[in-house]
């Protein structure tokens, strides 16, 4: 799954190569490897920027390496500082979870007849406050950076009763049906 267009546009500001081309992505991968001393394949960059089609999201390692390649400490800092002032939380059916305010709730629905409500408790960290037909339980603490309609929902970690259960992916087959910020009007 390619990075959202506004994220790509932000990264493009720091890269002298055209990230909408295969050669530009290859040169960016080479630049990251040379400057950072950390290897990243050109195909990984091409998948992140949509040159090569992919059904999975870039790994956290890839995201952090891209962020470091343009001068940010890590991906969380890039999303939190670099994009916070430029775009809203919602863009083309994609929610950037670093931008959801503490206390706000997200309603996420997916097949078959599954629904969860997540309440933001810290940047990109949520408490499950409702779980209908989901393997997630009320009280679970989950961490994720973005969710996109039509794509699987990937949590970097799930903590249940103080125990880290590791990563978790939901809506694998059909993707997320709907995502909405719950307000007083639609509660």
Sorted by where each starts, the structural domains of the chain and their CATH numbers stand as 5-87 (no CATH), 96-182 (2.30.30)
pLDDT confidence of residue 91: 42
pTM of this prediction exceeds 0.75: no
pLDDT (tens digit, 9 = 90+) per residue, 53-75? 988 888 889 998 998 888 778 88
DSSP the chain: -PPPHHHHHHHHTT-SS-TTSHHHHHHHHHHHHHHHS----HHHHHHHTTSS--SSPPPHHHHHHHHHHTT-SSHHHIIIIISTTTS-SEETTEEEGGGSPTT-EEEEEETTTEEEEEEEEETTEEEEEEEES-SS-TT-EEE-SEEEBTS-EEESEEEETTEE---EEE-TTT-EEEEEEE-TTT-
């Amino acid at each position: 799954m390619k990075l959202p267009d506004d994220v790509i546009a932000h990264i493009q500001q720091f890269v002298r190569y055209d990230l909408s081309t295969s050669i530009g992505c290859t040169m960016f991968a080479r630049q990251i490897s040379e400057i950072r001393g950390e290897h990243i394949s050109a195909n990984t960059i091409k998948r992140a920027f949509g040159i090569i089609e992919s059904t999975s999201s870039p790994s956290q390692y890839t995201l952090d390496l891209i962020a470091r390649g343009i001068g940010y400490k890590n991906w969380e800092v890039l999303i939190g500082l670099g994009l916070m002032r430029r775009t809203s939380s919602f863009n083309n059916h994609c929610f950037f979870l670093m931008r959801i305010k503490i206390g706000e709730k997200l309603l996420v629905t997916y097949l078959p007849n599954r629904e969860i409500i997540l309440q933001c408790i810290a940047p990109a960290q949520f408490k499950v406050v409702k779980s209908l037909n989901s393997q997630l339980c009320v009280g679970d603490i989950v961490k994720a950076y973005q969710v996109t309609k039509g794509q699987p929902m990937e949590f970097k970690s799930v903590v249940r009763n103080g125990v880290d259960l590791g990563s978790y992916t939901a809506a694998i087959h059909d993707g997320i049906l709907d995502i909405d910020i719950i307000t007083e009007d639609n509660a």
